[in-house]
């Protein structure tokens, strides 16, 4: 499979304190890779490095062979469209002056979808993420956290991305909405081959969604591997501690394409 995203020995410090230290990994087309680790372990910084929103102090980031921090607004519009972001706090990332449907419509316009098609496509995206179409007329301040998160997902999907970086996409959602969102992301992955970099401390969501998982601690990868292997036979004590702390509700349901039929529905360890 072709490599979409490659980070090579990437480091980033804030005020001389390393947030990410010499991290390397790849995401292949159609693959879902999770970043897990406790708060402050560098997950969001890595997500922002992958998107080119933060520049590394050392090392290289390549998306489809390009440095995402150097993509130009117009000339590289098509590359940008293929690399999308669902941020951890969508309220801060949505323009408060735009109705939620307009936010999605802008993304469609930027992707070159003609005006006459945008309303239909927006309605279809709203339907797919489980939002009532009339919510398209509301402003961000009139929507709940869970609704905003789904608007952010609809906006990210609008451009037909090859890779979506999701930072804690299920954190603001109740259980049912979370399940629906994971179903949606899974369906999209199966239908269009979208890849994901999936940042989460929700290990139940990771177990269900990610083919591969990287475990971060203090900005370093302490363990990585297929999610099913990590869950059934963690090698690093830190991984074991994370699994223990997440409690018995984490049951292994790794995606079918990443695991054999015998690996399904096993208890962790």
Q: Which residues bind Mg ion (CB under 5 A)?
A: 43-44
**Which residue carries 């239908």 as its tokens?**
191
What is the C-alpha to C-alpha distance for residues 12 and 7, in angstroms, rounded to an integer?
12
First-to-last alpha carbon distance for the chain, in angstroms, is 30
Q: Do residues 200 and 169 touch, judged by C-beta distance below 8 A?
A: yes
- Could you tell me which residues are beta bridge partners of residue 60? 8
Q: Would you say 16 or 116 has its CB closer to ligand ADP?
A: 16
Phi, psi at residue 183, to the nearest 5°? -60, -45
Applying CB under 6 A, the span of 34-42, 66-74, 104-112, 244-252 interacting with ligand ADP comes to: 34-42
Q: Would you say 15 or 75 has its CB closer to ligand ADP?
A: 15
What is the C-alpha to C-alpha distance for residues 22 and 8, in angstroms, rounded to an integer?
8
Q: Do residues 211 and 254 touch, judged by C-beta distance below 8 A?
A: yes
Q: Would you say 14 or 265 has its CB closer to ligand ADP?
A: 14
- Asked whether position 159 contacts ligand ADP by CB under 6 A, the answer is no
- Asked whether position 112 contacts ligand ADP by CB under 6 A, the answer is no
Q: Which listed residue (32, 45, 170, 254) binds ligand ADP by CB under 6 A?
A: 45
Q: Would you say 107 or 205 has its CB closer to ligand ADP?
A: 205
Closest to 104 (Cα-Cα) out of 187, 113, 47: 113
Q: Would you say 47 or 113 has its CB closer to ligand ADP?
A: 47
What is the C-alpha to C-alpha distance for residues 228 and 262, in angstroms, rounded to an integer?
11
Structure tokens at 4: 């979409």
- Asked whether position 149 contacts ligand ADP by CB under 6 A, the answer is no
- Asked whether position 37 contacts ligand ADP by CB under 6 A, the answer is yes
Q: Do residues 68 and 83 touch, judged by C-beta distance below 8 A?
A: yes
What is the C-alpha to C-alpha distance for residues 127 and 174, in angstroms, rounded to an integer?
18
Contacted entry of ligand ADP, Mg ion, none for residue 154, CB cut-off 5 to 8 Å set by kind: none
Q: Do residues 82 and 162 touch, judged by C-beta distance below 8 A?
A: yes
- Asked whether position 42 contacts ligand ADP by CB under 6 A, the answer is yes
Q: Do residues 4 and 162 touch, judged by C-beta distance below 8 A?
A: yes
- Asked whether position 217 contacts ligand ADP by CB under 6 A, the answer is no
Closest to 87 (Cα-Cα) out of 142, 140, 44: 44
- Asked whether position 215 contacts ligand ADP by CB under 6 A, the answer is no
Q: How far is the CB of 199 from ligand ADP (least distance, A)?
A: 7
Q: Would you say 43 or 111 has its CB closer to Mg ion?
A: 43
Q: Would you say 19 or 181 has its CB closer to ligand ADP?
A: 19
Contacted entry of Mg ion, ligand ADP, none for residue 203, CB cut-off 5 to 8 Å set by kind: none
Applying CB under 6 A, the span of 40-48, 63-71, 233-241, 259-267 interacting with ligand ADP comes to: 40-48
- Asked whether position 44 contacts ligand ADP by CB under 6 A, the answer is yes
Contacts with ligand ADP, residue ranges (CB under 6 A):
14, 19, 37, 39-45
């Amino acid at each position: 499979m072709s490599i979409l995203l490659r980070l090579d020995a990437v480091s980033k410090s804030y005020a001389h304190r390393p947030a990410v230290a010499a991290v390397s990994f790849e995401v292949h087309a159609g693959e879902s890779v999770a970043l897990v680790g406790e708060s402050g372990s560098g997950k969001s910084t890595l997500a922002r490095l992958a998107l080119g929103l933060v520049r590394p102090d050392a090392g290289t980031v390549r998306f489809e062979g390009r440095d995402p921090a150097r993509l130009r607004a117009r000339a590289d519009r098509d590359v940008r469209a293929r690399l999308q972001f669902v941020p951890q706090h969508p309220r801060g990332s949505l323009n408060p002056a735009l109705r939620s449907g307009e936010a999605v419509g802008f993304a469609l316009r930027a992707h070159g979808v003609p005006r006459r098609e945008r309303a239909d496509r927006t309605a279809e995206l709203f339907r797919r993420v489980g939002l009532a179409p009339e919510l398209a007329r509301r402003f961000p301040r009139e929507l709940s956290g869970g609704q905003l998160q789904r608007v952010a997902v609809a906006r990210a999907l609008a451009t037909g991305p090859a890779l979506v970086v999701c930072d804690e996409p299920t954190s603001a959602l109740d259980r049912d909405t979370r399940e629906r969102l994971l179903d949606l992301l899974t369906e999209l992955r199966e239908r269009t081959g979208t890849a994901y970099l999936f940042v989460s401390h929700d290990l139940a969501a990771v177990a269900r969604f990610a083919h591969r998982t990287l475990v971060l601690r203090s900005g370093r990868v302490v363990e990585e591997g297929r999610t099913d292997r990590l869950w059934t036979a963690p090698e690093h004590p830190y991984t074991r501690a994370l699994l223990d702390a997440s409690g018995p509700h984490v049951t292994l349901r790794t995606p079918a394409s990443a695991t054999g039929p015998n690996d399904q529905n096993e208890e962790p360890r």
